[in-house]
Structure 1
Amino acid sequence: MSLLTLYGLSFLFGVTVGIFNPLMSTFMEQHQVSELWIGATSTVYFLTIALVTPVVERLLRKLGIRLILFLGCLLMMLSAPLFPLTSFLGLWFVIRIVMGLGVCAYLIGGQTALNLFCRDQNRASVSGLYFLAMGLGFIGGPAIGSYFYQISPSLAFLIGGGVMVAAMAMVWMFLPSSLRVKSGSRPAFFHLLKHFQFPIHGIFAYGMAEATLITLYPVFLLKQNYTVTQMGFTLSIFVVGSLISTVPVTNVADKSSKVRVLFICICVGIIASIGLITLTDYYLLLLFSGLAGASIGPVYPLCLALVGEQVSKENVGAGTALFTTTYSLGNATGPILAAFLMESLGNSYIFSGFIPVYIVLLLRIMRRKLKA
């Protein structure tokens, strides 16, 4: 029952983020806010998630997982509906910071619980289903949000807040209050970083790739003279490829080797990403977009499973906090670096930020295999 609750929460979280994040940018753009400030609020959001994770991890040990999840949903529910009620840029930054706090609490609480409920034999599969539920929610969120936004922006944000109320009810009703991380000495940051070299490296690169593809690849396509419809369909194929592949790939990882499957996914992801910037035939572009999603998407649950596999139950909260911090830093770094490279060297260098990071990880995995 607890795992089903976590899957349900993951779906509701995906719906909420799918409603809030695009509509916040849309609302600011309609109020003539420059792209620079829109991007700045997004960066502050991701940096907040990254910077507060040590604090949230300490609270997790003191308050327990259920209360942390409840507080995370509560912060999102209270903050986001305030966004369309003001046009003051400073307040928008404050709202994004509070949202970042809520999202951080949700991610650390939910993913810590997920790893506690897993066994090593099914860890990747369980993480894959969790990721799939979130992805399905994220697909539905923008459609729900845009429909109600046309009626009233405030109504759309209230709908998102209502979804979080449902999530809070699920947390309180179905998760046991006894669900806690065992107390013990907190491991040093650099000790954890050394212990989780492959998953932390992988999730940082994944964060860079995901944020770059979502935020700047649409710009790349439009500058290549593709229509808005073609651009939207290309991104949809990427998301569908990611969702379709996640469960079978993570099942294979549980039955063989998570590191080996991670290696293969990254290899295919690099090839697909190169295809996305070099191909000129639209139908081939769609094929490689689906291939990119199918190979890059499973990296997140694979890395999360590796963290859970390599840490003791006493330190799973700290490991999840480090995972969330690194992922958020990748999210914040990817678009900034890609934009700089596009501006300095040309649009075709859009993926020149995260591809080298992936290649270094491949070399590290190969080096470990040669030593073994």
Structure 2
Amino acid sequence: MRFWILISIVAISGLSQGMLLPLLSMLLEKHGVSSSLNGMHATALYIGVLLISPFLEKPLRQYGYRPMIILGGFIVILSLALFPAFHSFWFWFFLRLCIGIGDHMLHFATQTWITDFSPAQRRGRNLSLYGLSFGIGFSVGPLLASLIQFKESLPFLLSSLLSLIGWCCVFFLPNERPKENEQPSLAHTFDRFVHAWKYAWVALLLPFTYGFLEAAIHAIFPVYALREHIVIEHVAFILPAFSLGGIIFQLPLGLLSDRLERKRVIAGALLIGSVSFLGAYFFHRSPFGLAACFFIAGMFVGSLFSLGITYMADLLPKQLLPAGNLLCGMLYSIGSMIGPFVNGFAIEYGTNNFFFTISSILFLSFFLLLWNREKKVIHL
């Protein structure tokens, strides 16, 4: 019951995030906001994640998982409900930043709780279901945003109501706390970050890579498509192919990582992802070829966030899991902010196909790093 309530909350969170991205973009465009300011507005979510991250570990250890989920969920519910109150660029920016804070509190607590109670032989399965629930919710979000045609406030209020229902379920869960670390050298969050990075840096780079790729695909590929004269109808089925591949193969890849050596499963996924984007480079003039390459890439690298958390949990002792999970969220946000900028810069000052080249080189580099890495023995 605990596990299914947690992933249901994550699915509703994904629904809210998937709704907000297109909905606020459309509303800001409708209110005459420039595209550059519109893009800057979207970074508020990730700024909120980075601002709150250093302050979460101590209260999680002191008060436990449930209070942090309750507080984070309350911030999200209240922020969603307040969007229709004022049509102000900066007020909406503040609310989006608050949702980034609340969502990160919720995700940090839920994924740390799941990695804490999941046995090693089921960790890949549990975290793949975690990623799958968020992915499905995120994919359904734009459908909720389409309700704007009936009433502008309807998507916000409905999303807030769904979040409230999930939030109420949390009160039925018993509270638990992370394992305490008795070593004084790890008393401060910064020290824990250093130790977590030292022993699990390869795993921690996987959420960064996923954030870099996901944000670049959704933000820059439409620009690439316009420059390559790909019609909108083709873009409409090429873009979802990546997400669909990730949703379909998330659980099988997680189960496979439980049965085989996790490092080699992830390395294989990175290699296939690199080859898929290399294939997209050669099939860039074929919409169906691009869709096939995106689908295959999504099958194998669309699970990098959940696989990264799983592998991180394999490498770290339980007392470092909160710090490791915080770093996963922070690096995902940094990757999501950097990805569109780097790929946009490459298209602007290079060639359009640099979009695929950068992704292919990135995955190949991490494949080589992961394949040649030996596990370190941790002495705390």
RMSD value, Cα: 1.9
User: Structure 2 CA distance, aligned partners of 1:38 and 1:130?
Assistant: 30
8 Å CA contact 1:212–1:351 kept in 2: the answer is no
For 1:20, the equivalent position in structure 2 comes to 20
1:123-153 CA-to-partner distances (Å, cap 9, x unmatched) read: 111111111111111222211221x211111
1:105-184 aligned at under 5 Å gives the runs: 105-146=105-146, 148-173=147-172, 175-177=173-175, 179-184=176-181
For 2:340, the equivalent position in structure 1 comes to 335
1:54 equivalent to 2:58? Answer no
8 Å CA contact 1:338–1:349 kept in 2: the answer is yes
Offset, 1:25: 1.2
For 2:307, the equivalent position in structure 1 comes to 302
For 1:320, the equivalent position in structure 2 comes to 325
Offset, 1:341: 1.4
User: Structure 2 CA distance, aligned partners of 1:159 and 1:278?
Assistant: 44
For 2:82, the equivalent position in structure 1 comes to 82
**Aligned CA distance change for structure 1 residues 370 and 108 (closer, same or farther; 3 Å):** closer
TM-score by length of 2: 0.92
User: Structure 1 CA distance, aligned partners of 2:127 and 2:230?
Assistant: 35
Offset, 1:351: 4.0
Question: Which of 190, 194, 198 is the aligned partner of 2:198?
Answer: 194
1:367 equivalent to 2:372? Answer yes
Segments of 5+ residues of structure 2 without an aligned counterpart are none
For 1:10, the equivalent position in structure 2 comes to 10
**Aligned CA distance change for structure 1 residues 124 and 99 (closer, same or farther; 3 Å):** same
User: Structure 1 CA distance, aligned partners of 2:374 and 2:74?
Assistant: 46
**Aligned CA distance change for structure 1 residues 100 and 266 (closer, same or farther; 3 Å):** same
8 Å CA contact 2:274–2:359 kept in 1: the answer is no
Letter aligned with residue 149 of structure 2: Q
1:256 equivalent to 2:256? Answer no
TM-score by length of 1: 0.94
For 1:246, the equivalent position in structure 2 comes to 250
Offset, 1:354: 4.4
For 1:216, the equivalent position in structure 2 comes to 220
Question: Which of 224, 228, 234 is the aligned partner of 1:230?
Answer: 234
Secondary structure of the equivalent of 2:353? helix
User: Structure 2 CA distance, aligned partners of 1:96 and 1:102?
Assistant: 10
Offset, 1:71: 1.1
1:345-364 aligned at under 5 Å gives the runs: 345-364=350-369
Secondary structure of the equivalent of 1:202? helix
User: Structure 2 CA distance, aligned partners of 1:39 and 1:31?
Assistant: 14
1:205 equivalent to 2:209? Answer yes
Segments of 5+ residues of structure 1 without an aligned counterpart are none
8 Å CA contact 1:334–1:354 kept in 2: the answer is no
Offset, 1:92: 2.1
User: Structure 2 CA distance, aligned partners of 1:84 and 1:352?
Assistant: 42
User: Structure 2 CA distance, aligned partners of 1:207 and 1:249?
Assistant: 19
**Aligned CA distance change for structure 1 residues 256 and 12 (closer, same or farther; 3 Å):** same
Offset, 1:229: 2.1
Offset, 1:114: 1.0
Question: Alignment identity in percent?
Answer: 27
User: Structure 1 CA distance, aligned partners of 2:349 and 2:66?
Assistant: 47
User: Structure 2 CA distance, aligned partners of 1:355 and 1:202?
Assistant: 14
1:190-233 CA-to-partner distances (Å, cap 9, x unmatched) read: 22111112111222111101111121112222332222221111
1:79-103 CA-to-partner distances (Å, cap 9, x unmatched) read: 1232343332221221121111111
Aligned length: 368
User: Structure 2 CA distance, aligned partners of 1:277 and 1:33?
Assistant: 34
User: Structure 1 CA distance, aligned partners of 2:103 and 2:341?
Assistant: 21
User: Structure 2 CA distance, aligned partners of 1:264 and 1:360?
Assistant: 13
Secondary structure of the equivalent of 2:120? coil
For 2:292, the equivalent position in structure 1 comes to 287
1:327-368 CA-to-partner distances (Å, cap 9, x unmatched) read: 111111111111111111132222454444333322222333
User: Structure 1 CA distance, aligned partners of 2:83 and 2:277?
Assistant: 35
Offset, 1:316: 1.6
8 Å CA contact 1:218–1:231 kept in 2: the answer is yes
User: Structure 1 CA distance, aligned partners of 2:100 and 2:218?
Assistant: 19
User: Structure 1 CA distance, aligned partners of 2:90 and 2:166?
Assistant: 29
Offset, 1:157: 0.7
